[in-house]
Amino acid sequence: MPSFAEIMSVYGLEFGLGALAMLLIVVDLITGRGRLTGPADVVRLLALGGVSGLLIYSFMFLHASGEVHAFGQLDAFALYFKRFFLATTLFTLLLTAPYEARFSGGRAEFPVLVLLTAMGMCMLSSVGDFVSLFVGLELVTISLFLLTAWRPGLPRSIEAGIKFVIIGAVAAAFLVYGIAFVYGATGALDFAGVSAAIQSMATMPAGLKFGLLLVLVGLGFKLGAVPFHIWIPDVYQGAPTPVTAFLSVGSKAAGVVLLMRLVYTVLGPAAAEWAGVLGGLAAITLLMGNLGAITQTDLKRFLGYSGIAHAGFLLLALAAHSEASASSILFYMVTYLFANMAAFLVIIVVSRTSDDSHMDRVNGLAERSPFLAFVLLVSMLSLAGVPPFAGFVAKFMILRAAMEAALHNPALYWIVGLSLVMVVVSLYYYLCVLKRVYFREPEDKGVLEISGSTKAILLLCVIATIGLAIFFNPLVESANAGAQSLMGALPQGH
Amino acid sequence: MESLFFYLFGGLAVVTTLLTLSSKNPVYSAIWMILSFSATAGLFVLLDAFLIATVEVLVYAGAIMVLFLFVIMMINLRTSEAERLRLSPLAILAALTFLVLFGRAVSDPGPMLGKAPNDLVGDPDVIANLMFTEYVVPFEALSLLLTAAVVGCVVLSRKKVKA
């Protein structure tokens, strides 16, 4: 039986996040009597302080350990993703501040659900069995359903919520059904047991393959891989913008972290068989994501399709299946975080007056606010993967790892070729947005006021995006450590 | 004898589930669903999983379905307009692929098939022990999941606050 101290050594951060969420509910209850605006600020500030505290704590006092417990582990990989999720949560809360006025209610409860989602995400990076995996994933998904529908007065938000619930429930059903087949074939639910069973088999029985395929479907839904991407455009458009940002970075990373854990440690050597499936998914995801983005006229839908395209890159790296490709995924996620958060914050600012995210909102942004225009320039070019920005380094790392892997698996050359074509396509549509920013006439000529805190957040994103392109070594090193712990520490039976 | 009951409950579960889907009247759907849950509970009994069978009847067929019926009556759902099921070729292709893969999976499910379930599996003691030892982390996470659901539902269903 695991002792409390053992569990806390792995899930300490999650405990902190859960406790913080409970504290916020109590604070809201005590301070909120009869007042509407006061408690929300208090609660949000507390949440911000708490999450920053946990993030600092995770950097200063938490260390990766090679110990694998039955209930989970805190290896370098898990720690990397926990910090990533905490940073994502912090950004989401920061993005909420300029948006909050549009909520009709539930301002104080919003951070509570964000924290609980974050708790689920952090938990997912440590899980060691399919039961925890499912519970963690549901904690993330169900909180996000609610956050998506957080503006009941807005039909778009409700529609997005309903679509998300239905498709999410179907995906969860696939996942559970798949887990049942995996259990039926291997007799184990913990990753170590499943992995040991797989390695003892000469060939995988069809039932096991079917089960793993269904698990892949369930996770592909989170990741936004192509046949399971149907929900993305509508949900991204309808959800409140901070939630969209949270979805696009956090929810995608939750899919990534689980897929990596399953492909690298559970499948282990057997993963070579799955390179074809992952490669095929990567190819159609790249194709559909990039082609779909071209015709979009709504900024949030546009970023949704661009996110699908990025999922294609991540799948390509997964198909390559080497330590270098694992490390490149970890690096990629961080560059994606900064570029995406900056873009969504710009959307929040420009949609302040008309509350929609049509692309016309950024027309002539360069005249109204040169700073915002510059931020959007950096973010779009980084997402496109243009040299002086971090996105370039990330894409370069993935392609280099894929080319190395292609020496053993020539089919990858085709996908790398396709992805290069798609980079050019993506450059076209990112530049289309920038054309609007710099060369179109603005609809509303008024100067956009930006608050100091918004400016600071945007500046941080820009500095990180440029800085990571030059001083990428520290992050690459910690990504390498994460990848190493993922590849090296094949779970021992217990 | 046992296999007779297996086919009885299994067949009943399949038929009632199909009827749930095809009934035009939502109240009939809900009632078919209760039967479907009960048949599934029967299957669990055959597996000696008595606790799960009880929970299936008490929680699903009992509490949840009553809630369903309440909601259906409260929002006064009428027989749905005969909306024809549209089948796109892609949907048919996906369903057929799934069926073929499913067929292969069932014909070769792996080495564990036919092993007797653990005798104690239906015992509440064993389940409770597992819940508070091996699976204590997901168990605690579930309680927070429920908290999140409650908080969210309260916010979404609250009457609009006048600012």
List, for residues A87-141, the tens digit of each pLDDT value: 999 999 999 988 888 887 778 889 999 999 999 999 999 998 999 999 999 999 9
Give the integer Cα–Cα distance in Å for A171 and A166: 9
Q: Which of A86, A76, A89 lies closest to A326, judged by CA?
A: A76
Of all residues in chain A, the one with the smallest CA distance to B116 is A187
Residue type, B136: V
Q: Is A11–B104 a contact, with Cβ atoms under 8 angstroms apart?
A: no
Q: Which residues of B touch A152 (CB under 8 A)?
A: 156, 160
Judged by a CB distance cut-off of 8 A, whether residue A146 touches chain B is yes
Q: Is B112–A211 a contact, with Cβ atoms under 8 angstroms apart?
A: no
Both tokens of B125, joined, read 């003691």
A402-408 long-range contacts, CB within 8 A, separation 24+: A402/A316, A402/A317, A402/A319, A402/A320, A402/A325, A404/A320, A404/A322, A404/A324, A405/A319, A405/A320, A405/A321, A405/A322, A405/A325, A406/A320
**The pLDDT value given to residue B51:** 87
Of all residues in chain A, the one with the smallest CA distance to B159 is A105
ipTM: 0.88
CA A186 to chain centre: 30
**Half-sphere exposure at residue A415, Cβ-oriented, CA atoms within 13 angstroms:** 33
pLDDT band for position A178 (50/70/90)? very high
Give the integer Cα–Cα distance in Å for A320 and A409: 8
Burial B32-42 (b: 16+ CB within 10 A, else e): bbbbbbbbbbb
* Entry pTM: 0.92
Q: Is B145–A135 a contact, with Cβ atoms under 8 angstroms apart?
A: yes
Q: Considering Cα of A344, then A350, then A354, then A360, what sign does the dihedral take?
A: negative
Task: Read off the pLDDT of each residue in A157-185 and give the average, rounded to a whole number.
Answer: 92
Task: Read off the pLDDT of each residue in A454-468 and give the average, rounded to a whole number.
Answer: 92
Both tokens of A69, joined, read 């417990």
Q: Which residues of A touch B113 (CB under 8 A)?
A: 184
Least confident residue range of A267-271, A296-300, A362-366, B52-56 = A267-271
**The pLDDT value given to residue B115:** 63
**The pLDDT value given to residue A70:** 80
Q: pLDDT digits over A247-285, tens only? A: 999 999 999 999 999 998 888 777 778 888 999 999 999
Q: Is A132–B141 a contact, with Cβ atoms under 8 angstroms apart?
A: yes
pLDDT band for position A34 (50/70/90)? low
Q: Is A117–B148 a contact, with Cβ atoms under 8 angstroms apart?
A: yes
Query: Which residue is associated with the tokens 């239906």?
Result: B122
Least confident residue range of A114-118, A331-335, A395-399, A446-450 = A446-450
Judged by a CB distance cut-off of 8 A, whether residue A117 touches chain B is yes
Average pLDDT, whole number, for chain A?
Answer: 89
Q: Which residue in A131, A143, A149 is closest to B138 by CB distance? A: A131
Q: Considering Cα of A243, then A246, then A248, then A251, what sign does the dihedral take?
A: negative
Q: Which residue in A36, A136, A184 is closest to B110 by CB distance? A: A184
**The pLDDT value given to residue A19:** 94
**The pLDDT value given to residue B15:** 96
The H or E element that residue A9 is part of is helix A4-31
**The pLDDT value given to residue A362:** 85
Give the integer Cα–Cα distance in Å for A237 and A302: 9
Judged by a CB distance cut-off of 8 A, whether residue A50 touches chain B is no
Q: Which residues of A touch B110 (CB under 8 A)?
A: 184-186, 205, 207-208
Task: Read off the pLDDT of each residue in A417-446 and give the average, rounded to a whole number.
Answer: 89
Q: Is B148–A131 a contact, with Cβ atoms under 8 angstroms apart?
A: no
**The pLDDT value given to residue A35:** 57
Q: Which residues of A touch B128 (CB under 8 A)?
A: none
Task: Read off the pLDDT of each residue in A162-171 and give the average, rounded to a whole number.
Answer: 93
Both tokens of A358, joined, read 């049509």
Task: Read off the pLDDT of each residue in A158-164 and give the average, rounded to a whole number.
Answer: 92
What are the phi and psi torsion angles at A129 (to 5°)? -150, 165
Q: Which residues of B touch A153 (CB under 8 A)?
A: 160
Mutation target among A73, A109, A130, A189 for the B interface, most CBs of B within 10 A: A109
Q: Is B163–A206 a contact, with Cβ atoms under 8 angstroms apart?
A: no
Could you say which residues from 261 to 320 on chain A have a Cβ atom under 8 Å away from some Cβ of chain B?
none
Of all residues in chain A, the one with the smallest CA distance to B118 is A187
Mutation target among A71, A121, A135 for the B interface, most CBs of B within 10 A: A135
Question: Which parts of A295-442 fold into alpha helices (H)?
Answer: 299-320, 323-350, 365-368, 370-384, 390-406, 411-439
**The pLDDT value given to residue A273:** 81
**The pLDDT value given to residue A450:** 86
Q: Region of A50 please: left (phi>0), alpha (psi -120 to 50) or beta.
A: alpha
Grouping H, G, I as helix, E, B as strand and the rest as coil, residue A197 is helix
Q: Is B151–A25 a contact, with Cβ atoms under 8 angstroms apart?
A: yes
Q: Region of A489 please: left (phi>0), alpha (psi -120 to 50) or beta.
A: beta
Where are chain A's structural domains? 4-487
Of all residues in chain B, the one with the smallest CA distance to A198 is B110
Q: Is A105–B160 a contact, with Cβ atoms under 8 angstroms apart?
A: yes
Mutation target among B97, B99, B144, B160 for the A interface, most CBs of A within 10 A: B144
Tell which wins on pLDDT, B117 or A407: A407
Q: Is A135–B109 a contact, with Cβ atoms under 8 angstroms apart?
A: no
Both tokens of A301, joined, read 């839908």
The H or E element that residue A231 is part of is helix A231-238
Q: Which residues of A touch B135 (CB under 8 A)?
A: 71, 131-132
Tell which wins on pLDDT, A34 or A23: A23
DSSP per-residue string spanning A412-437 = HHHHHHHHHHHHHHHHHHHHHHHHHH
Q: Which residues of B touch A155 (CB under 8 A)?
A: none
**The pLDDT value given to residue A335:** 94
**The pLDDT value given to residue A378:** 94
Q: Helices A411-439 & A370-384, crossing angle to 10 degrees? A: 170
**The pLDDT value given to residue A39:** 65
**The pLDDT value given to residue B67:** 87
Give the integer Cα–Cα distance in Å for A71 and B96: 38
**The pLDDT value given to residue B155:** 86
Q: Which of A18, A7, A252 lies closest to A128, judged by CA?
A: A7
Mutation target among B137, B156, B158 for the A interface, most CBs of A within 10 A: B137
Task: Read off the pLDDT of each residue in A207-223 and give the average, rounded to a whole number.
Answer: 92
Q: Which residue in B137, B151, B153 is closest to A11 by CB distance? A: B137
Grouping H, G, I as helix, E, B as strand and the rest as coil, residue B102 is helix
The residues on B that touch A, with CB distances below 8 Å, are: 101-102, 104-113, 115, 133-138, 141-142, 144-145, 147-149, 151-156, 158, 160-161, 163
Give the integer Cα–Cα distance in Å for A68 and A266: 13
Mutation target among B17, B155, B161, B162 for the A interface, most CBs of A within 10 A: B155
What is the pLDDT tens value at each position of chain B, 163 positions in all?
Answer: 778 999 999 999 999 999 998 888 888 888 899 999 999 999 988 888 888 899 999 998 888 888 888 888 888 766 666 566 677 888 889 889 999 999 988 888 777 666 655 655 667 888 888 888 888 999 999 999 999 999 988 888 876 654 4
Give the integer Cα–Cα distance in Å for B71 and B63: 12
Torsion on CA atoms A246, A247, A249, A255, rounded to nearest 10: 140
Total beta-carbon pairs less than 8 A apart between chain A and chain B: 131
Give the integer Cα–Cα distance in Å for A341 and A337: 6
Of all residues in chain B, the one with the smallest CA distance to A150 is B156
**The pLDDT value given to residue A338:** 94
Q: Provide CB contacts within 8 A for A8, sequence distance 6+.
A: A15
